[in-house]
């Protein structure tokens, strides 16, 4: 892969998507699901995963429609230049918001578990610096890194889940109730924040070497993520019972901290899983910075990458600092991110595809009309 | 020849700087300058303060096999966190709570709902204390227990943890003793049972329990009650049940067990059906092992188990109005309609007191040992 510049394989793409999405959201998801639908919260997660697959189909269909155009170019083509610039601007802001949210959550957790005496600025500052440096190296470096990290992450997670499920009481998932009182679709949309990072599929497309397999590869990665999220929610609910789960801010970490591995060298497994999870957050930070820089470079082709990345990194630093310094309501932040995600995952692709289709139909109609006129003239 | 440009040298220097500065080790204290707390005892003093007693084993003395290995630090304050801070100031070394194995609450504290809730919250929120720490209650003051010399016990917390770990299928599994699980159960059924630790004639007693209801200790019970409870929960194997046949006490060992709790409705009340199936072995029987005797022993065993379960049920449900079994929660999970029917107009106490118990025990002696 190192020889084909700026191109990545489908396998690498799957790893990148998994790592980009795998962040703070998975750690808090079981609690949010339990708040919405008590012991049946996993059903909401399952529906959310299905919605994410639907979003993936929409995004990849849109990308494959304009095979040679990037995100900005096909938006410009379908929705005019001013709207495209506005959308790109919103996308960059969304990235800054998401990365800052991830970093603030990560920092507060790290300071509690791993680095209690370290200044918080040092923690998120170092993450941003390293993330920005990695983003400067380009997509291929990210792809090669993801290929290795994804296995470390998923294997450690699966191992921990198997161990936690041994002690879990699966009766805590009962009674399974599917009834009309629960607004499943509304709740599923409200958990879409779990899939933040999925919208990067728009920007990943130009780098794929085999574009024909893009859709199936993307669906595969989202299915893996959806499966993992559902399993994590099931095991967390079985472990704690939804009543306790609702009270826990980081249930997945709490769950793993209770694992007792007989004869294990480490007494505290939460620190172990934390170290693997750092890689997931690190990847999300890198992705946020990288894709924001890609958009800005598309808008301003003459700008220098390292300066663009530096400005984005500074913006993320400032927003994270505001998050950490001011009491920001977590629910409002999640709602804002969720709203932006719903726009980019559903509204935007549907709108773009509809406009493209309408334009196509108009073009066909116009051609037919011209043809008919010519026929009439000929006669 | 290896070429190194300025950029790479800068990168290397940056990496070294970052490693040193961002490692989080600025205030690192090396192991030899730390005191690793093994046990925390918590009491309420006469003035209403919180008193903590910390048991700190000296690894050097432990490795030399000395008898006196523990340093005891005590401190008092109005809050648990402040008491720990004061204890840290008293100790020459930095106190580390990462390795705390057991937290013992004094009897008086266990009965004080408000004080206990605050301390328990402090323990839950402490990110350093493991979620797997054992919570127990002492008979009398926790400080007295930790200051008592106990036969065969070198490091108190380590001894207790190993004691329970070596009995993986014994009745002690019925205790809600680990912090994480305790919190979960307290949230759901609000009734938990934790170990009671006491010392008698210089020896540790670990078989009794304390019943907690809605956040405070309301009663204590012995190992017979604990066994009856453990039998319903179906967690135990390998325990010995004594039955009396023709004036002779015969020990029967449970090899494996199957347990099922179900709910039915009968004459306007909910019946809890506890169905038990045991495979047992007979290893000490000074008489003829005839088929007739085996049948008799099986019947006696069944009666003993049934009585034990009923005695335990009577203690928890009828005497203490305490649903430690989590029957209400189980019914909700298994038969939601029946649950709704009987809990809509009834309080928790009315519901559990209205339950009827139906115990069916079947056993089979599958082995009579071998004579060599």
Instruction: Tell me, letter by letter, the H, E, C secondary structure of chain B.
Output: CCCCCHHHHHHHHHHHHHHHHCCCCCCCCCHHHEEECCEEEEEECCCCCEEEEEEEECHHHHHHCCCCCEEEEEEEECCHHHHHHHHHHHCCCEEECCCCCEEEECHHHHHCHHHHHHHHHHHHHCCCCCCCCEEEEECCCHHHHHHCCCCCCCCHHHHHHHHHHCCCCCHHHHCCCEHHHHHHHHHHCCEEEEEEEEEECCEEEEEEEEEEECCEEEEEECHHHHHHHHHHHCCCCCCEEEEEECCEEEEEEEEEEEEEEEEEEECCEEEEEEEEEEEEEECCCCCCCCHHHHHHHHHHHHHHHHHHHHHHHHHHHHHCCCCCCCHHHHHHHHCHHHHHHHHCCCCHHHHHHCCEEEEEEEEEEEECCCCC
Residue A337 has pLDDT above 60, yes or no: yes
Return the residue of A nearest to B21 by Cα.
A122
At what angle are helices A269-299 and A305-325 packed, to 10 degrees?
130
State whether B130 and A267 contact (CB < 8 Å). Answer: yes
B343 contacts on A by Cβ (under 8 Å): none
A28-38 pLDDT per residue, tens = 899 999 999 98
Option in A114, A126, A243 nearest B22 (CB): A126
Residues 171-200 of A with CB under 8 A from B: 171-172, 174-175, 177
The answer to whether B100 and B130 are in contact (CB under 8 A) is yes
Structure tokens at B332: 């909700």
Q: Which of B18, B183, B184 has its CB closest to that of A126?
A: B18
Helix and strand totals (H; E) in chain A = 15, 0
Distance from CA of B23 to the nearest CA of A (A): 9
pLDDT value for B21: 62
Nearest residue on chain B to A254, alpha-carbon basis: B131
Mean pLDDT of B239-265: 88
The span from the CA of B369 to the CA of A255, in Å, is 43
pLDDT (0 to 100) of residue B196: 94
**Residue A267 touches partner B, C-beta closer than 8 Å:** yes
Confidence of residue B124 (pLDDT cuts 50, 70, 90): confident
pLDDT tens-digit map of B275-315: 999 999 887 777 666 778 889 899 999 999 999 999 999 99
A152 shares contact with chain B (CB less than 8 Å): no
At B1 the pLDDT is: 44
Asked whether the predicted pLDDT for residue A267 surpasses 70, the reply is: no
The answer to whether residue A12 scores a pLDDT higher than 70 is yes
Residues of B with CB under 8 A from a CB of A: 18, 21-22, 24, 26-27, 98-99, 127-128, 130-132, 178, 180-181, 183-184, 187-188, 330, 332-334, 336
Give the count of beta carbons closer than 10 Å to the beta carbon of residue B182: 22
Longest dimension (CA), chain A: 93
The pLDDT of residue B79 is above 70: yes
Residue found under tokens 């809890």: B272
Q: DSSP letter at A175?
A: S
Q: Band of the pLDDT at A314, cuts 50, 70, 90?
A: very high
* Closest by Cα among B76, B72, B20 to B47: B76
List, in sequence order, the alpha helices (H) in A199-347: 201-204, 214-247, 251-257, 269-299, 305-325, 330-342
Distance from CA of B234 to the nearest CA of A (A): 13
Contact A175 B336 (CB under 8 A): yes
If one compares B288 and A70, the residue with the highest pLDDT of the two is A70
Q: Give ∠ CA B28-B34-B36 in degrees, rounded to 5.
A: 125
In this prediction, residues B46-53 reach a mean pLDDT of 93
Q: What does the pLDDT average to over A118-147? A: 88
Lookup: tokens for B150: 């106990």
**Whether residue B336 has pLDDT greater than 50:** yes
Nearest to B333 among A122, A175, A244 (CB): A175
Segment A93-108 mean pLDDT:
90
B332 contacts on A by Cβ (under 8 Å): 175
Asked whether the predicted pLDDT for residue B330 surpasses 50, the reply is yes
Mean pLDDT of chain A, nearest integer: 87
pLDDT score, position A265: 61
- Segment 281-320 of chain A within 8 Å of chain B by CB: none
What is the C-alpha separation between A291 and A308, in angstroms, rounded? 11
Q: Does A363 touch chain B (CB under 8 A)?
A: no
Other CB atoms within 10 Å distance of the CB of residue A4: 10
Separation of alpha carbons A291 and A17, rounded Å: 13
Chain centre to alpha carbon of residue B305: 23
3-class state of residue A208 by DSSP: strand
CB pair distance less than 8 Å for B187 and A117: no
The residue in chain B having the minimum alpha-carbon distance to the alpha carbon of residue A115 is B24
Q: Residues of chain A with pLDDT > 70: what percent?
A: 92
Long-range contacts of B289-297 (CB under 8 A, 24+ apart): B289/B368, B293/B245, B294/B365, B294/B368, B296/B245, B297/B243, B297/B245, B297/B250, B297/B252, B297/B365
Confidence band for A346, pLDDT divided at 50, 70 and 90: very high
pLDDT of A259 over the 60 cut: yes
- Between residues B21 and B304, the one the model is more confident about: B304
Nearest to B333 among A117, A171, A257 (CB): A171
CA dihedral A30, A36, A39, A43 (to 10 degrees): -80
Structure tokens at B176: 């809600």
Q: In this predicted structure, what is the pLDDT of residue B193? A: 92
Contact B127 A113 (CB under 8 A): yes
**Per-residue pLDDT, A272:** 64
DSSP character at residue A8 = B
Poorest-confidence range of A313-322, A338-347, B150-159, B167-176? B167-176
Residues 6+ apart with CB under 8 A from A296: A92, A303, A308, A312
Phi, psi of A119, rounded to the nearest 5 degrees: -65, 140
State chain B's mean pLDDT as an integer. 86
- pLDDT for residue B273 is more than 60: yes
Distance from CA of A66 to the nearest CA of B (A): 40
User: Do the Cβ atoms of B146 and B39 come closer than 8 Å?
Assistant: yes
- The answer to whether B184 contacts A116, with C-beta atoms less than 8 Å apart, is no
Of B130, B180, B336, the CB nearest to A268: B130
pTM: 0.82
Tell me what pLDDT residue B182 has. 82
pLDDT of residue B99: 86
Structure tokens at A209: 């070497």
Structure confidence at residue B27 (pLDDT): 58
Which of B16, B94, B131, B189 to substitute to test the interface with A, most A CBs within 10 Å?
Answer: B131
B138 neighbors B208 (Cβ within 8 angstroms): no
Q: How far is CA B87 from CA B50, B97, B108, B125, in A?
A: 12, 12, 21, 19
Q: Using an 8 Å CB-CB cutoff, list chain A residues near B99.
A: 267
pLDDT for residue A89 = 95
Residues A8 and A16: their CA atoms lie apart, in Å, by 10
B127 vs A112: CB contact, 8 Å cut-off?
Answer: yes
| Mutual angle of helices B291-313 and B223-233, in 10-degree steps | 100
- Whether ipTM tops 0.90, in short, is no
Q: CA B369, CA B282: separation in Å to the nearest integer?
A: 6
- Contact call for residues B144 and B174 (beta carbons, < 8 A): no
Contacts of A117 in chain B (CB under 8 A): 24, 26-27
- The reply to whether A244 touches chain B by the CB within 8 Å rule is yes
In this prediction, residue A2 has a pLDDT band, given cuts at 50, 70 and 90, of very low
Question: What local confidence, expressed as pLDDT, does residue A3 receive?
Answer: 44
Q: For the CA atoms of A79, A83, A84, A86, what is the dihedral angle to 10 degrees?
A: -160
Q: Are B53 and B74 in contact (CB under 8 A)?
A: yes
**Could you tell me if A263 lies within 8 Å of chain B, comparing CB atoms?**
no
């Amino acid at each position: 892969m190192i020889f084909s510049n700026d191109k990545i394989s489908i396998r690498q793409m799957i790893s990148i998507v998994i790592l980009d999405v795998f962040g703070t959201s998975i750690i808090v998801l079981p609690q949010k699901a339990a708040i919405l639908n008590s012991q049946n919260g996993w059903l909401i997660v399952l529906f959310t995963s299905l919605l994410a697959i639907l979003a993936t189909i929409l995004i990849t269909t849109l990308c494959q429609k304009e095979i040679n155009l990037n995100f900005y170019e096909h938006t410009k083509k379908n929705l005019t230049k001013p709207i495209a610039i506005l959308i790109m601007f919103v996308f960059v802001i969304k990235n800054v918001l998401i990365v800052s949210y991830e970093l603030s959550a990560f920092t507060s957790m790290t300071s509690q578990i791993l680095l209690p005496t370290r200044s918080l600025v040092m923690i998120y500052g170092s993450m941003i610096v390293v993330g920005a440096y990695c983003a400067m190296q380009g997509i291929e470096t990210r792809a090669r890194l993801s290929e290795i990290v994804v296995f470390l992450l998923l294997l450690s997670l699966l191992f921990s889940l198997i161990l936690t499920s041994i002690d879990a009481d699966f009766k805590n998932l009962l009674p399974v109730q599917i009834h009309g009182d629960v607004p499943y679709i509304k709740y599923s949309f409200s958990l879409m924040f779990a899939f933040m990072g999925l919208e990067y599929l728009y920007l990943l497309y130009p780098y794929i070497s085999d574009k024909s397999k893009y859709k199936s590869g993307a669906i595969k990665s989202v299915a893996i993520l959806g499966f993992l999220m559902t399993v994590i929610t099931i095991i967390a609910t079985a472990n704690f019972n939804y009543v306790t789960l609702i009270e826990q801010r980081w249930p997945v970490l709490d769950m793993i901290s209770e694992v007792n591995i007989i004869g294990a060298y480490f007494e505290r497994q939460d620190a172990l899983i934390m170290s693997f999870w750092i890689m997931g957050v690190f990847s999300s930070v890198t992705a946020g910075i990288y894709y924001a820089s890609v958009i800005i470079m598309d808008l301003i082709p003459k700008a220098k990458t390292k300066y663009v990345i530096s400005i984005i990194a500074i913006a993320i630093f400032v927003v994270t600092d505001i998050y950490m310094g001011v009491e920001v309501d977590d629910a409002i932040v999640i709602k804002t991110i969720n709203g932006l995600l719903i726009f980019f995952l559903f509204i935007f692709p549907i709108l773009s595809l509809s406009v493209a289709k309408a334009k196509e139909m108009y073009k066909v109609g116009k051609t037919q009309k011209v043809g008919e006129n010519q026929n009439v003239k000929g006669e | 020849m290896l070429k190194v440009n300025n950029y790479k040298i800068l990168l290397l220097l940056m990496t070294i700087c970052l490693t040193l500065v961002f490692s989080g080790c600025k205030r690192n204290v090396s192991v030899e300058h730390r005191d690793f707390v093994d046990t925390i005892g918590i009491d309420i003093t006469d003035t209403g303060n919180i008193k903590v007693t910390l048991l700190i084993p000296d690894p050097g003395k432990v490795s030399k096999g000395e008898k006196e290995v523990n340093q005891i630090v005590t401190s008092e304050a109005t809050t648990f966190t402040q008491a720990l801070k004061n204890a840290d100031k008293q100790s020459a070394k930095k106190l580390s709570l990462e390795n705390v194995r057991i937290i013992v609450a004094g009897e008086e504290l266990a009965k004080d709902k408000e004080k206990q809730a605050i301390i328990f919250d402090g323990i839950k929120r402490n990110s350093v204390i493991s979620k797997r720490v054992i919570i127990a209650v002492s008979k009398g003051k926790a400080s007295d227990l930790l200051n008592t010399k106990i036969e065969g016990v070198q490091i108190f917390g380590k001894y207790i943890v190993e004691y329970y770990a070596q009995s993986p299928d014994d009745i002690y599994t019925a205790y809600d003793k680990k912090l994480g699980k305790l919190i979960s159960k307290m949230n759901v059924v609000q009734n938990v049972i934790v170990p009671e630790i006491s010392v008698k004639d210089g020896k540790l007693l670990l078989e009794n329990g304390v019943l907690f209801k809605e956040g405070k200790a309301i009663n204590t019970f012995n190992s017979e009650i604990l066994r009856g409870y453990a039998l319903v929960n179906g967690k135990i194997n390998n325990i010995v049940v004594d039955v009396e046949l023709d004036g002779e006490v015969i020990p029967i060992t449970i090899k494996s067990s199957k347990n099922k709790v179900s709910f039915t409705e009968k004459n306007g009340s909910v019946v809890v059906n506890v169905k038990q199936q045991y495979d047992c072995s007979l290893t000490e029987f000074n008489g003829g092992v005839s088929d007739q005797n085996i049948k008799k022993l099986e019947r006696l065993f069944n009666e003993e188990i049934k009585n034990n379960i009923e005695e335990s049920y009577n203690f928890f449900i009828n005497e203490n109005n305490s649903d430690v079994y989590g029957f209400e929660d189980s019914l909700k999970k298994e038969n939601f309609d029946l649950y709704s029917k009987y809990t809509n107009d009834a309080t928790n106490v009315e519901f559990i007191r209205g339950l009827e118990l139906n115990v069916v025990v079947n056993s089979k002696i599958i082995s009579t040992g071998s004579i060599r």
